[in-house]
Amino acid sequence: MQILVTGGLGFIGSHTALLLKEAGHDVVIVDNLSNSKLDVLQRIKKISNVDYKFYKADVTDEAKMKEIFARNKFDGIIHFAGLKAVSESISKPLEYYYNNVVSTLCLIKCALEYNVERFVFSSSATVYGENDSPLKEDMKLGLTTNPYGETKVINEKILRDVSVAYPHMAISLLRYFNPIGAHPSGLLGEAPNGLPNNLMPFITQVASNKIKSLKVFGNDYETVDGTGVRDYIHVMDLAKGHIKALENIKIGVNVYNLGTGKGTSVLELINAFEKINNIKIPYEIVERRKGDVAACFADATKAYKELGWKAELTIEDMVRDAWNFEKDYK
Ligand code: NAD
Ligand code: UDP
């Protein structure tokens, strides 16, 4: 199949583009480089030894997107492009709503006009709000605590409405848990611009002395050691989940959790990092972060039953590969 990958130079998109090629699909990447560098294109070419068609374009630019659709013959779309920093979304709500919602509207309009029937969307576990874990796809969605999360809820709703009006469309909503890790080559990984938001890039930047110490947000939750519990998933496993989702896509809207089903606390992740990489991570316990839930992990059985996919890599693989990328990253 020829697959349009929006946001394909970002963290998850770049790993998925690589695996799509490996699985024999043709890949066309669209990215506006707002949170990635062109250098990622050279890196994926180097790893796979093949070329990728790339357009530097904004997915919210409908005229430009129509031009791209007219020049290619897509069989499917994986829509990663979006802004994703939770705290930034609180200070810049309009940018987040505009970018994340208009991009999907433009893409779906193009898909309908150019008869592209397969559409895979990057959603997030954040749509479950304060529901108790393990989180299941058929749970009622929770209240979101920030504009970023709300854009995921709105996008899911838009795609459900599209499916009602255009029942020939095959749409998958993939709810990711916490992707970390990196490509085993050390050439691809998570390289956020500015100060990281998420725990894993924070840990690796403390390890490389870019940041002095880690702040652990609260140790008084009702969890194994009082710190927040999340379902960390290796980005390579997550990327594989997209290939399975695309190859097994069904008509209508189908929702899948992409997680491991296993929770890990902040202190457990720090300990695993220290042990595997033999580096001490200085940290201090501070106040809880606003909007955080105590625990968030998936019931990952549906993706296994329906797509034949399950995460295979361990926390040890994740912390090793994350550091392997960060330590040489320039
Ligand atoms: P990322 O920022 O690394 O990648 C997103 C890419 O999209 C970037 O390369 C950026 O330049 C591009 N982009 C953004 N807006 C664009 C636009 N309007 N037009 C063209 N390109 C645009 O993020 P990621 O971690 O790879 O996340 C990919 C998707 O998965 C996002 O939709 C994100 O919300 C979702 N998601 C991520 C996580 C996570 O923790 N990383 C968790 C759940 C869901
Ligand atoms: N966390 C932390 N210090 C940080 C960043 C995150 O203690 O600098 C904690 C956070 O409170 C949560 C876990 O690490 O319990 C994962 O946070 P992250 O932002 O990576 O993911 P999310 O909360 O969005 O699932």
Sign of CA dihedral 170, 302, 224, 128: positive
User: Which candidate, 287, 293, 292, places its Cα nearest to that of 219?
Assistant: 287
pLDDT digits (tens, 9 = 90+) for 103-161: 999 999 999 999 999 999 999 999 999 999 999 999 999 889 899 999 999 999 999 99
**Residues written for the chain:** 330
Q: Is the CB of 99 under 6 A from ligand 1?
A: yes
**The CATH number of the domain where 124 resides is what?**
3.40.50.720
Q: Ligand 2, from 199, 227, 273: best to mutate by most atoms within 8 Å of Cβ?
A: 199
Q: Ligand 2, from 11, 148, 190, 198: best to mutate by most atoms within 8 Å of Cβ?
A: 198
Task: Report how far ligand 1's centroid is from the alpha carbon of 84 (Å).
Answer: 6
Q: Which atom of ligand 2 is nearest to the CA of 125?
A: 25
pLDDT at site 328: 82
The reply to whether 198 falls in a domain is no
Q: Which atom of ligand 1 is nearest to the CA of 123?
A: 44
The reply to whether 112 falls in a domain is yes
Successive 10-residue mean pLDDT values, the chain, 330 residues? 98 98 97 95 96 97 98 98 93 97 98 98 96 97 92 98 98 98 96 82 94 96 98 98 98 98 98 98 96 94 98 98 89
Domain containing 11: what range? 2-181+232-259
The reply to whether 165 falls in a domain is yes
The reply to whether 17 falls in a domain is yes
Q: Which atom of ligand 2 is nearest to the CA of 269?
A: 14
> What Å distances lie between residue 140 and 128, 173, 233, CA to CA?
8, 15, 23
The reply to whether 270 falls in a domain is no
pLDDT at site 330: 66
The reply to whether 266 falls in a domain is no
Catalytic residue status for 166: no
Contacts of 151 (CB under 8 A, 6+ apart): 82, 89, 96, 97, 100, 101
DSSP assignment of 58-112: -TT-HHHHHHHHHHS--SEEEE--S---HHHHHH-HHHHHIIIIIHHHHHHHHHH
The reply to whether 124 falls in a domain is yes
Number of structural domains (the chain) is 1
